Chains A and B, each alone.
Chain A
Amino acid sequence: MISGRISSKIKITFVLMLAFSILLAGCTTSGNSTEKTHENMVTMAWPRDIGEMNPHVYNPSQLFAQSMVYEPLVTYEAGGKLKPHLAESWDISNDGKVYTFHLRKNVKFSDGTTFNAKIVKKNFDSILKHTELHSWLGFLSKIAQTEVIDDHTFKLTLTEPYYPTIQELAVVRPVRFLGEAGFPKDGDTSKGVAKPVGTGPWVLEEHKADEYAVFKRNEHYWGEKPKVEKIKVKVIPDAETRVLAFEKGELDLIYGEGVISLDAFKQLQATGQYETSLSEPVATRQLVMNTKKEQLSDERVRQALHYGFDKEALVKGITSGLEEKADHILPTDFPYTSDIDVKQINYDPEKAKALLDAAGWKLPNGKTVREKDGKPLEFSLMYDSAESIQKTMAETLQAEWAAIGVKLNLEGVELATQVKRFKANEFDMNFFSNYGAPYDPHTFLNIVSSKGFGFNEAISAYPNKDELIKQMAKVPQTTDEKERQELYSSILKSLQDQGAIVPVSYIKKTAIYQKNISNFTFPANRDEHPFTGIRIKQQH
Chain B
Amino acid sequence: MGNYILKRIMSIIPVFLLAALLTTGMIHLSPVDPAEAYLAAAHIQPTDEILAQKRHEFGLDQPFFIQYVNSVLKICQLDFGISYVSNQPVWDEVAHRMPATIELALGSLMIAVLVSVPLGFLAGIKRNGAVDHISRFISFFGASIPTFWLGYMLVFFFSVQLDLLPVEGIGTWQHLVLPSMTLALPLIAMYTRLLRASVIENLQEPYVQFARIRGMTRMNIMAKHVLRMAISPMITGLGMNLGKLLTGTIIVEVVFSWPGFGRYFIEAIFNRDIPVIQCYVFLAAAFFILSNLIVDLIQMYIDPRISRKEGQHR
Which residues of A are in contact with B by a Cβ distance under 8 Å?
A: 9-10, 12-13, 16-17, 20, 25, 28-29, 31-35, 48, 52, 58-60, 132-136, 191, 208-212, 234-238, 240-241, 244-245, 247-248, 250, 416-417
Contact = CB atoms under 8 A, between A and B. Distances in A.
Given A210-B263, A235-B259, A241-B256, A20 B173 contact: no
Contacts of B32: 416
A31 B174 contact: yes
Given A25-B164, A237-B263, A241-B167, A31 B43 contact: no
Given A59-B85, A60-B86, A34 B42 contact: no
Given A248-B159, A248-B163, A16 B130 contact: yes
A533 B251 CA distance: 37
A28 B163 contact: no
B164 A29 contact: yes
B218 interface: no
A439 B101 CA distance: 41
Interface string B255-271: 11101000110110001
Nearest to B272: A416
B170 A211 contact: yes
Contacts of A16: 130-131, 134
B167 A31 contact: no
A238 B255 contact: yes
A222 B19 CA distance: 58
A33 B31 CA distance: 48
8 contacts: A29-B164, A60-B86, A60-B271, A210-B97, A236-B168, A245-B168, A250-B168, A416-B32
Given A16-B131, A48-B267, A133 B272 contact: no
Contact of B41 (A10, A32, A59): A59
Interface of B: 31-32, 41-45, 50, 85-87, 96-97, 129-131, 133-134, 137, 152, 155-156, 158-160, 162-170, 172-174, 177, 254-257, 259, 263-264, 266-267, 271-272
A58 B43 contact: yes
Contact of B166 (A134, A208, A250): A250
Contact of A31 (B87, B134, B164, B271): B164
A240 B155 CA distance: 11
A13 B134 contact: yes
Contacts of B133: 9-10, 13
B155 A241 contact: yes
Given A12-B130, A234-B168, A250-B168, 5 more contacts: A237-B266, A241-B255, A244-B156, A248-B160, A248-B167
Contact of B158 (A9, A28, A135, A416): A28
Nearest to B97: A210
Contact of A236 (B87, B162, B257, B272): B257
Contacts of B86: 52, 60
A89 B255 CA distance: 49
A248 B156 CA distance: 9
Given A60-B86, A245-B167, A209 B160 contact: no
Contacts of B130: 9, 12-13, 16
A237 B252 CA distance: 11
B269 to A, nearest CB: 10
A245 B257 CA distance: 11
A132 B255 contact: no
B263 A250 contact: no
B254 A28 contact: no
B163 A32 contact: yes
Contacts of B254: 237-238, 241
Contacts of B85: 59-60
A33 B172 contact: yes
B255 A59 contact: no
A241 B163 contact: no
**Which of B31, B87, B167, B264 has most A Cβ within 10 Å?**
B167
A10 B44 CA distance: 68
Contacts, number: 115
A424 to B, nearest CB: 12
A248 B154 CA distance: 13
B167 A244 contact: yes
Contacts of B44: 132-133, 135
Nearest to A28: B164
A418 to B, nearest CB: 13
A264 to B, nearest CB: 12
Given A28-B174, A240-B152, A247 B255 contact: no
Contacts of A212: 169
Nearest to A135: B45
A132 B131 CA distance: 68
A51 B177 CA distance: 28
A29 B174 CA distance: 10
B148 to A, nearest CB: 9
B166 A133 contact: no
Contacts of A247: 160
Contacts of B159: 244, 248
B240 to A, nearest CB: 27
A17 B132 CA distance: 12
A47 to B, nearest CB: 9
B120 to A, nearest CB: 15
A133 B263 CA distance: 28
Top 6 nearest A-B pairs by Cβ distance?
Answer: A210-B259, A31-B174, A12-B130, A245-B167, A58-B43, A236-B257
Given A13-B133, A59-B41, A238-B257, A244 B152 contact: yes
A31 B177 contact: yes
Given A17-B134, A237-B263, A244-B155, A250 B174 contact: no
Contacts of B264: 210
A33 B177 CA distance: 13
B163 A211 contact: no
B174 to A, nearest CB: 4
Contact of B163 (A13, A34, A416, A417): A34
A133 B42 contact: yes
Contacts of B166: 34-35, 250
B78 to A, nearest CB: 21
Contacts of B31: 417
B134 A20 contact: yes
A429 B248 CA distance: 39
Contacts of A240: 152, 255
**Which of B96, B164, B177 has most A Cβ within 10 Å?**
B164
B165 A31 contact: yes
A245 B32 CA distance: 36
Nearest to B156: A244
**Which of B97, B174, B272 has most A Cβ within 10 Å?**
B174
B310 to A, nearest CB: 43
A10 B128 CA distance: 11
Nearest to A173: B43
A35 B12 CA distance: 47
A25 B159 CA distance: 12
Given A16-B134, A60-B86, A235 B257 contact: yes
A20 B167 CA distance: 22
B180 to A, nearest CB: 12
A20 B135 CA distance: 12
B43 A133 contact: yes
